[in-house]
Amino acid sequence: MAAGQALTREQAWPALPLAEWNETRDTLHMWTQIVGKVRLGLSPHVNHWWEVPLYVNARGLTTSAIPSARGNFEMNFDFIDHKLDIVTGWSRPMNIQMYTRSVAGFYREVMQALDSLGIQVKIWTMPQEVPKPIRFERDVTHARYDPNYANRFWRIVASVDRVLKEFRPRFIGKVSPVHFFWGSFDLAFTCFSGRRAPERPGADRVTRDAYSHELTSVGWWPGGGDVKEAMFYAYASPEPAGFRETRVKPDKAYYDTKIGEFLLSYEEVRTAPDPKAALMDFAWTTHEAGATLGNWDRAALEHSE
């Protein structure tokens, strides 16, 4: 692509059939968990676990600055040159190449690189939020990396990130960053009413903190398990009466009673006449349903124009 030339639709919203990159997805999921756990292990706790996620940057995903005894450092997934960069203020960047290799091999090289930089961190090596987890140091099952599909994945995440960042200024109350959760492997954005939510009986510490206040949330997930394609999702917590019966946009969006969320196929968005407008409609109408039915003070929380 020539310098300064706008992205084509296919470049910004490429096809991502799950069946064609499922093994790469699973391996990359584990690699992001390794890096995410490094950030988690060294960062002070923030409400709703906002010290956990990764963020979209110019070439992939980044931890942003992580504090350590030697100073700040960051870890950046580069899905153009296919490497993980570890950048510090006291040494040259270290590069870990991303290619078809096992999770165990990637984990070993990451931890050796951190140790060589004088960064001391201990992480829990059991993956989270996945069925039948295998400890990173033992995982030779997940060992596939297709650079083409990894790049497609990042380009979609970058496009969704841009749209959600344009949606964010409509809401002037408390909001989350647009961030990538490595546990669930999804990009998400959340708005809050400012009121505490009812306690969830039996909820663990993570869930209690994440859902301590009323919220609406929208995001994108590449699919997996019983969901055989990439999906946009949106929900309200606690879910107000009438929410699931609301008509939202675009017309192909629907409420999935099993998951308890509105869903919209990524394929429907990427092939829409205007993918950005379709995603904006989905984000806004699902938020509006949750905020209106939940009796939020919308006049105080949203721009009127």
Listed by start position, the domains of the chain span 21-138, 151-301
Q: DSSP assignment, residue 185?
A: T
pLDDT on residue 303 = 84
pLDDT on residue 1 = 52
Both tokens of 195, joined, read: 């009121």
Between the alpha carbon of residue 219 and those of residues 164, 286, 304, the distances in Å are 9, 11, 24
pLDDT profile of the chain (305 residues), mean per 10: 74 96 98 98 94 97 97 98 97 96 98 97 96 97 98 98 96 96 98 96 90 97 93 98 98 97 98 97 98 97 82
Between the alpha carbon of residue 122 and those of residues 10, 39, 114, 163, the distances in Å are 41, 11, 11, 36
Q: Which helix (H) or strand (E) holds 147?
A: helix 147-167
What pLDDT digit, counting tens, does each position of 77-86 carry? 999 999 999 9
Q: Are 107 and 114 in contact (CB under 8 A)?
A: no
What pLDDT digit, counting tens, does each position of 197-243 carry? 999 888 898 899 999 999 999 999 999 988 999 999 999 999 999 99
Mean pLDDT score of the chain: 96
Whole-prediction pTM: 0.95
